[in-house]
Amino acid sequence: MKFFIDTADIDEVRKAADIGILDGVTTNPSLVADSGRKLKDVVLDICEIVDGPVSVEVTATDREGMLEEAREFATWADNTVIKVPLTPAGLSACHTLAGEGIDCNVTLCFSANQALLAARAGARFISPFIGRLDDIGQRGMGLIEDIVQMYSNYDYIDTEVLAASIRHPRHVTESALAGADVATIPADVIDQLFQHPKTDQGLQKFLDDWNASEANSG
């Protein structure tokens, strides 16, 4: 499973890239607004760090407005991917953009039927929102499982399942077990993936034993 980071914070992108685990980045208007910077500046800085897909979301809600924004975003860097909402206008824009060779990430997916529609429209990625379904008492991971299973039934579907709205490390584990192609993960959850008390205890014991050995040898 590929790892994307869900952020518009350049320092967070750089940190994940330096570790060597980063395959791409997803942004959204809320994340960009939180950064306090202009969208184009954020995207260009990210694309200097990351070779993989960088998702940039349209803010227009009508087809023509989405197409205008998307075509502009696509000129910024070769690895930009256009995020469009899972609405009739969004899927229509996705279909047109796919025909022009512009990759799309269809976002705000909450049902398997929506995911089928996105695949038919030519989406490169479909983004089911796990955490937001959990928030309303539904099992978000069940949606990932359903989409992965459905897509696997058809050789001609090459849309990648991108697990989104990830809230904790277990979401990452379950996404991988379910066969998601990608997980887009907030920086704080990426940090948690490294953490286990036995790792810290083991490292401290190795260091203590080494220091004791050095002291005795002196």
H or E segment to which residue 185 belongs: strand 182-185
Let me know if 35 is exposed, middle or buried by CB neighbors in 10 A (0-12, 13-18, 19+): middle
In this structure, what are the phi and psi dihedrals at residue 114, rounded to the nearest 5 degrees?
-60, -40
How many CA atoms, within 13 angstroms, populate the side-chain half-sphere of residue 98?
Answer: 21
Which of 25-34, 123-132, 196-205 bottoms out in mean pLDDT, i.e. has the lowest? 196-205
pLDDT, position 165: 97
pTM of the model: 0.92
Active site residue ranges? 83
For residue 72, give the CATH number of its domain. Answer: 3.20.20.70
Neighbours of 165 (CB within 10 A): 21
Domain that holds residue 170: 2-217
Give 218's pLDDT tier (boundaries 50, 70, 90): low
DSSP, res 212? H
Residue 115 — pLDDT band, cuts 50, 70, 90? very high
Q: How many domains does the chain have?
A: 1
As a whole number of angstroms, the distance between CA 216 and CA 122 comes to 67
Q: Is the dihedral of CA 144, 193, 85, 121 positive or negative?
A: negative
Contact 22, 52 (CB under 8 A): yes
* The two structure tokens encoding residue 206: 């190795």
What would the pLDDT profile of 56-100 be if each residue is shown by its tens digit?
999 999 999 999 999 999 999 999 999 999 999 999 999 999 999
Residue 17, token pair as written in the block: 């890239």
